Structure 1
Amino acid sequence: MSLIRLDSYECTGARIVGVAGQFEINGDTVFMHRPFVSIGNGLAIAPAIEVTDRGLLVRTDLWTGMAVRDYEVGVLPVTTEDQGLIARITREFDQDPEIAWDSSREQIVAWCEQWAARQRVTTTAPANPS
């Protein structure tokens, strides 16, 4: 049996930083702090959030990568079932000088697709990106 501890903030030294998402459900707007697992250096992996007609599903079977820093916050627009793989993608994305967390969604998606093609792995874009 395993334990997954989900937080909604990261202590960066001088500040406490969290990542929030805004979701539309049947015409209502839901604002929620994203739960995540820190992987160090202001990076995290997070369960995918799926919007349904009844509410939000926190999918601990699908994971995405995040930056959680006082100067930089972002969520990768891809998911995978493998926590180790999404941690690796997140770290490599963060270390690549050709891309940034504040790049356009199209640029980030293209980077993720190119990375997956080079590595011959499969990731998916979430149906409800946030």
Structure 2
Amino acid sequence: MESIQVKEYMNHYPVTFTPDMVAEEASLRFLKTKQIGGPVIDDNHRLIGFLSESDVLGAMLKSIYFNEQTKDVSDLMRKDVLSVKPYDSIVELAQTMLKAKPKVYPVVDDDGNLLGTICRNDVLRALDTHLRASFHAGK
């Protein structure tokens, strides 16, 4: 079970954002992809932040309430991003997810380049798949 790696279950095509994108455009990306959060990347595809639906929702509410223009992603994103490596253990990530709040983790290579994302549902699917396989192998 420890040998199951993040790369086996990660999303290779996550929704991504750029720091200069406006909140309305980010909102449209969330609506189209039905993802709940995504990495913010620079021109070199390096991870520089993370944006959640909640971040955009708050900005849009303020925009409507105060009748002002929404902010750019760079103003809304979290800069202290928890990320994982493709070779990290799914089991260890599951244990981390029980303690830490992020529901989605960017997957980056050793140079900080974005490779994809992995969410709680992906981790649950990995654990479920391997538990079912071991259960059926035991019969």
Q: Looking at secondary structure, tell me which structure has more helix per residue.
A: 2
TM-score, structure 1 length as denominator? 0.28
**TM-score (norm: length of structure 2):** 0.27
- Please say which structure displays the higher CA radius of gyration: 2
Higher relative contact order (CA 8 A, sep 6+): 2
Higher normalized strand content (fraction of residues): 1
